[in-house]
Amino acid sequence: MGSHRRRALERGAGWGSLLCLVVVQGGCGRGESRTGAARPSRSSERILFLSCAPTEALLAIASQRSDAAQARVWVVDMRPERPLSQLIAEGREAGGPARWRPDGGAVVASVVARDRGGELHFADAREGWSSECLVRDASAWPMYPSWSPDGRQLAWLEMNVQRQTYIAVMDVGTRRVEHLATTRAPSPPKWSPDGQWIAFSGFGDPNNAGLPADGTEPPAQVYVIAPDGTHERPVPGSQRLRSWRWSSPAALISVVNGANSDQLSAFTLDVRSGVRTTVTEGLDLSGPWSVDPGNPSWDASGQRLLVVVGPAPTQSSQPDSTGSITQVALADRSVRQLTTGAADSCPAWMGDGEHIAFVRDDEALWVMATDGSDQRRVLGLRDLR
């Protein structure tokens, strides 16, 4: 567990500690440099999360002001010559990246409301992206929402003020919510491609007492559970996976460090037997790399991954997720550096499969071709006001 996350937990069990935990764990990794000092930003408002619709030139960005408890989530339509934006949620903090329905026609976003309760907002293209509140809870925070493959259900991670965490599942048509009887403090849920399972990384606490207040990190393991809350079981051999996703209805794929922090290795893991199959090993990325555990930037095929590569951290600092963007193709072991700056983050594949969106200097949305060419600034946070 990094020092940022420890400090968040040491502040106590109130909402403030929970918010700081989620932003650091799942955001784009900014706020301190690799030397531990505050890194300059052009604006007090920063983009924390970026997600792209699977079918259209649509994006969702979540921003946070550093000088005020204010978060905003926007939908950006890049199809017109001049991009259009629509505010879909606003609150104190953003609860992870907004998530697009598999058909790209709707999006959900999580925020902490002004009264410190949690909210989950839904915006539909057919309604001009006007949003409605799906969930409002004064004592818990729904965050990191995830759509089922058929778009009929939503799962999310829910945390209450006692720092207890659960997986919740909603039938979108009826709005009925079920809290699954998981007994371990879980991470953001991920649906299997066939919709039969929800996977999450659990911290192994049998009493679901939440994350430990002393900042120690318990052993983590991947678990799967049916959407109705039955058949929960651990995935053998899944301890301490760094970044993973479903690669098929029966297997996960994970990327980990190789012999050192400059190298990347990948393997698949059978969810029943725990058998590991090496995909690639020891790819040299020419610098320490990072990927957001809650929002890894895999392409639709699951064979290409975007990582952020930066200079080595000093002895007194922690790596963050700001640097140059590099594309890793697992099948042919190719590594391509796409940007050369030191202030790029949040890379995300766009729905056309031909472009990549990313954030530069904390506050500007950029787009480039998948080979790194044609880099152009689309808009900044000031353009959204």
What is the reported pLDDT for 34? 28
29 has pLDDT over 50? no
We report the CATH number of the domain holding residue 351 as: 2.120.10.30
What is the reported pLDDT for 259? 77
24 has pLDDT over 50? no
Q: Which residue has the higher pLDDT, 136 or 294?
A: 136
- Written as one letter, the residue type at 110 is S
What is the reported pLDDT for 2? 33
* CA 148 to chain centroid: 16
The stretch 22-39 carries a mean pLDDT of 35
What is the reported pLDDT for 300? 85
Place of tokens 């968040």: 8
Q: What is the dihedral of CA 29, 34, 36, 40, to 10 degrees?
A: -70
Q: Return the number of other C-beta atoms located less than 10 Å from residue 181's C-beta.
A: 12
What is the reported pLDDT for 199? 94
What is the reported pLDDT for 219? 66
87 pairs with which residues across the strands? Answer: 74
What is the reported pLDDT for 28? 52
The stretch 222-242 carries a mean pLDDT of 90
Domain extent, residue 290, equals 3-384
Beta strands in 15-83 (DSSP E): 45-52, 58-65, 71-77
Confidence of residue 113 (pLDDT cuts 50, 70, 90): confident
The stretch 347-369 carries a mean pLDDT of 93
CA distance 174 to 102: 19
Q: Which residue has the higher pLDDT, 352 or 311?
A: 352
Q: What's the DSSP call for residue 16?
A: H
Sign of CA dihedral 351, 357, 362, 363: negative
Q: How far is CA 90 from CA 140, 262, 279, 348, in A?
A: 17, 38, 41, 22
The stretch 193-201 carries a mean pLDDT of 95
CA distance 370 to 374: 9
What is the reported pLDDT for 16? 36
What is the reported pLDDT for 216? 61
What is the reported pLDDT for 360? 94
Specify the range with the lowest mean pLDDT, choosing from 259-263, 329-333, 346-350, 380-384.
Answer: 259-263
CA distance 355 to 369: 4
Q: Which residue has the higher pLDDT, 68 or 85?
A: 85
Confidence of residue 1 (pLDDT cuts 50, 70, 90): very low
Specify the range with the lowest mean pLDDT, choosing from 42-51, 100-109, 141-150, 273-282.
Answer: 42-51
Confidence of residue 35 (pLDDT cuts 50, 70, 90): very low
What is the reported pLDDT for 37? 31
Average pLDDT score, the chain: 81
288-339 tens-digit pLDDT: 888 865 567 898 888 899 999 986 544 333 445 678 999 999 989 999 999 9
Q: Return the number of other C-beta atoms located less than 10 Å from residue 15's C-beta.
A: 18
Specify the range with the lowest mean pLDDT, choosing from 104-108, 112-116, 187-191, 379-383.
Answer: 112-116
3-state secondary structure of 22: helix
Share of the chain above pLDDT 70, in %: 79
Tokens linked to 382: 């000031």
What is the reported pLDDT for 173? 94
The stretch 53-66 carries a mean pLDDT of 91
Q: How far is CA 17 from CA 116, 163, 216, 344, in A?
A: 12, 9, 15, 27
Angle between helices 15-26 and 3-10 (to 10 degrees): 170
Q: Total domain count for the chain?
A: 1
CA distance 250 to 80: 41
58 has pLDDT over 80? yes
Confidence of residue 281 (pLDDT cuts 50, 70, 90): very high
